[in-house]
Amino acid sequence: MHHDDFNFEPVRGLPAELPAGEEILWQGSPDALRLAKDALGLNWVIGYFAFLAIWRVGVSSASMPFNEAMGHGVPFLMAGLIAGLLLYIVAVVQARSTVYTLTNKRACLRIGAALTMTLNLPYVCIGTAQASVHKSGIGTVTFELIGDTRLSYMMTWPHVRPWHISRTQPAFRAIPDAARVARIFAEAAETRVCEPQISRRQTGANAIAAE
């Protein structure tokens, strides 16, 4: 029987219904394989075990026939295969539990495989954004927060820009068609930031001012 772990969400990827005047412009999730490579170091892990296998074969071949020495590298290759498979499984779980959302007012990240949380980032709290795109079109869009907005690097990893710990930058990691997503964000953020904000301030006539 199929069970949706997120059937409590009134809107997919969001903790509540959209307010009046807000609409979803884009939604997506990470590509699991790219996430494993970029965030979990899949290529480095496989390369490390491959190096160990080659080194072990080289050492053994000095004292025995080469075809017999080849067998000494097999355990390292098997260990690398198992480690790589485990990392890929972690990436799949992360990707399936993650939903990135862009609306006309904010960027949202529903993240966390074990402990799920949703980050709401109003465009007025985002100073700049950067897009890093691979030849495949898959890439990452990172957001630099301004003001007093602070996020925990450990709580939001791997959905962050790597190594920016003191000033965590949340990110849409390993998303397909990242360049298009970056353009959608840029257009929506510019529109939102330039939109007049109505606020009340106390004056003699209790006037309403547009800022």
Three-state SS string over 65-123 comes to CHHHHHHHHHHHHHHHHHHHHHHHHHHHHHHHHCEEEEECCEEEEEECCCCCEEEEEEH
How many Å apart are CA 10 and CA 33, to the nearest integer? 29
Tell me the one-letter amino acid at 105: K
Q: What is the pLDDT of residues 95-111, one digit of tens each?
A: 999 999 999 999 999 99
**Beta bridge partner(s), residue 2:** none
The answer on pLDDT for 177 being more than 50 is: yes
Within the chain, how many helices (H) and strands (E) appear? 6, 9
Q: What is the pLDDT of residues 98-154, one digit of tens each?
A: 999 999 999 999 998 778 899 999 998 998 899 999 999 999 999 999 888 788 899
The answer on pLDDT for 170 being more than 80 is: yes
Q: What is the pLDDT of residues 24-50, one digit of tens each?
A: 999 999 999 999 999 999 999 999 999
Is cis: bond before 19, omega within 30 of 0?
no
E strand or H helix that includes residue 126? strand 126-133
The reply to whether the predicted model has a pTM over 0.85 is: no
**Beta bridge partner(s), residue 107:** 102, 121
Given pLDDT bands bounded at 50, 70 and 90, which one contains residue 3? Answer: very low
pLDDT score at 95: 95
pLDDT score at 7: 54
Which one-letter DSSP state was computed for residue 144? E
Given pLDDT bands bounded at 50, 70 and 90, which one contains residue 211? Answer: very low
How many Å apart are CA 153 and CA 150, to the nearest integer? 9
Q: For the residues 7-33, what does the mean pLDDT come to?
A: 88
Which one-letter DSSP state was computed for residue 10? S
Lowest mean pLDDT among 12-26, 128-142, 186-200: 186-200
The answer on pLDDT for 157 being more than 50 is: yes
Q: For the residues 173-185, what does the mean pLDDT come to?
A: 95
Lowest mean pLDDT among 3-12, 75-84, 89-98, 125-134: 3-12
pLDDT score at 116: 87
